[in-house]
Structure 1
Amino acid sequence: MNPDRQTLDELRIDRAAAPRGRPYGLLLVILLLVVAGSAGATWWFNRPRTAIVRTVTVQQPSSGEERTLLNASGYVTARREATVSSKVTGKVEEIYVEEGMRVEAGQTLARLDSSNVARSLELAQAQQESARATLIETEALLEQAEREFARITGLAEKRVASQSELDSARAEAKSLEARLERQKADVAVSEREVAIQQQLLDDMVIRAPFTGIVTSKTSQPGEMISPMSAGGSFTRTGICTIVDMDSLEIEVDVSESYINRVQPEQPVEAILDSYPDWRIPARVIAIIPTADRQKATVKVRVGFEQKDPRILPEMSVKVAFQKSEEATPTSLDPTIPQTAIRQREGGHVVWIVRDGRVERRAVTIGSTRGEQVAVSAGISGGERVVVDGPDELTDGDQVSEVE
């Protein structure tokens, strides 16, 4: 035999002589796999399932929220605000104020060019002096005429002076008396003219009508100013705008449907948009007795209880009309949506979510406020309740929350 073939025959495995235990091992492996699969399937179909629920947090109202009857928004306005102008048309010569400056009533704000008025005043004063001098002259002539008339009267009684001389003396005295009265009237007229020119000169000085803060400055030296619009855009109608900060109040438009909740002297809580954490005590001043037919609103004036430099005109503000202090306080029950309430065994229950599981809780229902329900017993503020979820929930079910 070929040596190489003999060597290959020796290396060949005799399968007939191989051990027969391998099929039993394979069957054992298959059996183990079947048992493991059955156990996994049993666990999968009997595992605790996680329900998807929508939850909300129980709201616990504060005392301020409980007292609020109506919320509205408006603006801070000034009851006393004036754009100060002049009484006459003239050229601005000096301005003594700037924005943000505080001015007192009667303080000089600006001056107009008064050269022409000053010359007119000087002329009126000269005419007054002339009228007074003429009056003094006439008084002297009248005094002389009266003495002459008395002398002629005495001579006429003695038949020394004629009747014609007596009549002439009487006429002269009467004429001077009349002239004196007219000149007294002329002096009075000249005095009035001087007063007018003095007032015109005083009108060249523009003063503050009341104490306040300058919020805007609308003119500059050299510009023309007039109490009425004239000359187009080249003529200003005001020097500056002054606001009396002590007269600041709030104007609110309240819907006609809710105006019955507002009463004079009603307490109000105001919150400026600029200072959202600052609650300002206020009170209703007046309800304007007319409505806006286009907006269906009624204007309400609200006054601040305390003044503060942070409050500025035209600021946006939100107000809460509150119950009066004499009103009976209501309980501060927590509120939840009506969809969270469920009927079980003739009572009301809710599902509370805690540590990923639900807990059934019996509750006592109070008043209804829109879509919210007040709960007088059973839950407290801050807890999370289910508002939407499966109907087959049971105590202890695992859930997953969504907002």
Structure 2
Amino acid sequence: MRHLLLLAPLALAGCKAESAPQPEAERPRPVQVAEVHLAPATEAHAFTGVVRARHEADIAFRAGGRITARLVEVGQKVVAGQPLARIEEADLSLAMRAAEADLSAAEAQARQAAAEASRSKALRAAGHVSIAYDDQRIAAARSAAERAAATRAALDLARRRLDYALLRAPGNGVVTALLAEAGQVVAEGQPVFRLANPEERELVVQVPEAAVARLAAASAAAQFWAHPGLSLPARLRELAPQAETALRTYTARFALPEAPDWIALGMTGTVLTEAPGETLATLPLSALHDRGEGPMVWRVAEGRIAAVPVEVVSLGEVTAALRGALAEGDRVVALGPQLLDPTSRVRIAGLRAAATLR
């Protein structure tokens, strides 16, 4: 009897062990998942700049001197050949007269040398002079003729320089800058005006380093502060091969093939670009989790979960664009990822739309 009493508690304990419920940790947890859909992202940028002429040049005198008259104003339209400014002609006139005198002297010497060579030829034929003497006279005549040709060219150059005293417009355009004033002494080639041709206008902007790579493949449109609701097509025509030293940005020039007449030089405009980017996954913000090693998501496969590190490219109101080792159709935990760990077993309780809160 005593032995039966000792065995009774053991039997009751065994019955309780057999009827104990399964531990909560071993049960698969119901989770909502979202399917991964990959799509190329669009990189959009906006660059603000000013309208410039495609053809713009600094105009300078081709001779040095003191400016005696300025004949145009900034903003004035000019045509090819129109006088712009004039420098003092006195020094240039004296140089031309000196060249004329040099030419007269050289021609006289050439005539004298030619006459001596002719007489030497006759004397040589009669046997009165040697061959060497005759050769010297011929060489002197040729040298005098070449000196006369050189002074003739110098006279032509002096006449041209006198004509350069009047600065003329090389083509049609608008005077955009005044770089020298009447009374100022300028050197040959020193800029006096800046002339722009407004027929071809461009929007010049500064592009940061991060946006340079895909700029050539991007579609572009231009908007102007003068007409905020109007968008005009733009095309990248030129991109600087080297960054500016001060700003560390690249100068880009966007052509405006359909620019209306109201777009004036110096206006402020914005270039809007859109370029196809890399393929990214869009998932709900609630799917993101950080266990101290950076952003990650839980990928669900066969009742198990695995951590997939991701990089957040951009954040929206309810979704995030992610870069990581995710494939099309992968299922990730969409709600409560912070409640799970790598040993958790899960079962899919519902499929959540990746880009919504439903």
User: Normalising by structure 2, what TM-score?
Assistant: 0.57
> Which has the larger Rg?
1
User: Match of 1:315?
Assistant: 267
Residue 200 of structure 2 is aligned to residue 263 of structure 1: no
Cα 1:280–1:210, aligned 2, differ >3 Å: closer, same or farther?
A: same
User: Match of 2:146?
Assistant: 185
User: What's the RMSD between the two structures over aligned residues?
Assistant: 3.5
Structure 1 unaligned segments of length 5 or more: list them.
Answer: 1-66, 154-165, 229-236, 325-337, 339-367, 374-403
Letter in 2 for 1:275: H
Q: CA deviation at 1:128?
A: 0.9
Distance 1:223 1:296 in 2: 37
Distance 1:372 1:283 in 2: 35
Letter in 2 for 1:93: T
Distance 2:81 2:271 in 1: 36
Residue 191 of structure 2 is aligned to residue 245 of structure 1: no
Residue 69 of structure 2 is aligned to residue 94 of structure 1: yes
Letter in 1 for 2:317: E
Distance 2:249 2:95 in 1: 56
User: Match of 2:19?
Assistant: none
Contact (CA 8 Å) 1:149, 1:173: kept in 2 or not? yes
User: Match of 2:124?
Assistant: 149
Cα 1:274–1:176, aligned 2, differ >3 Å: closer, same or farther?
A: same
Q: CA deviation at 1:76?
A: 2.2
Q: CA deviation at 1:316?
A: 1.8
User: Match of 1:120?
Assistant: 95
Contact (CA 8 Å) 2:51, 2:268: kept in 1 or not? yes
230, 249, 260: which is aligned to 1:278?
230
Q: CA deviation at 1:242?
A: 0.9
3-state DSSP of counterpart to 2:227: coil
Cα 1:113–1:80, aligned 2, differ >3 Å: closer, same or farther?
A: same
3-state DSSP of counterpart to 1:120: helix
Letter in 1 for 2:134: A
3-state DSSP of counterpart to 2:240: strand
Deviations 1:105-131 (A, max 9, x none): 444322211122112212211221232
Q: Any residues of structure 2 matched to 1:211-360 within 5 Å, and which? A: 211-227=172-188, 237-264=190-217, 266-291=218-243, 297-322=249-274
110, 134, 149: which is aligned to 2:109?
134
313, 317, 337: which is aligned to 1:371?
317
Contact (CA 8 Å) 1:213, 1:242: kept in 2 or not? yes
Cα 1:68–1:279, aligned 2, differ >3 Å: closer, same or farther?
A: farther
3-state DSSP of counterpart to 2:228: coil
3-state DSSP of counterpart to 2:96: helix
Cα 1:292–1:147, aligned 2, differ >3 Å: closer, same or farther?
A: closer
Distance 1:144 1:292 in 2: 73
Contact (CA 8 Å) 1:269, 1:322: kept in 2 or not? no
Q: CA deviation at 1:170?
A: 4.8
User: Match of 2:83?
Assistant: 108
Contact (CA 8 Å) 2:51, 2:203: kept in 1 or not? yes
User: Match of 1:5?
Assistant: none
Deviations 1:300-319 (A, max 9, x none): 33111223332233322122
Cα 1:297–1:121, aligned 2, differ >3 Å: closer, same or farther?
A: closer
Deviations 1:240-259 (A, max 9, x none): 22112234322223344444
Structure 2 unaligned segments of length 5 or more: list them.
Answer: 1-41, 277-284, 286-313, 320-358
Q: CA deviation at 1:269?
A: 1.7
Distance 2:97 2:123 in 1: 39
Percent of aligned pairs with the same amino acid: 22
Cα 1:213–1:308, aligned 2, differ >3 Å: closer, same or farther?
A: farther
Residue 31 of structure 2 is aligned to residue 85 of structure 1: no
3-state DSSP of counterpart to 2:73: coil
User: Normalising by structure 1, what TM-score?
Assistant: 0.52
Letter in 1 for 2:205: V
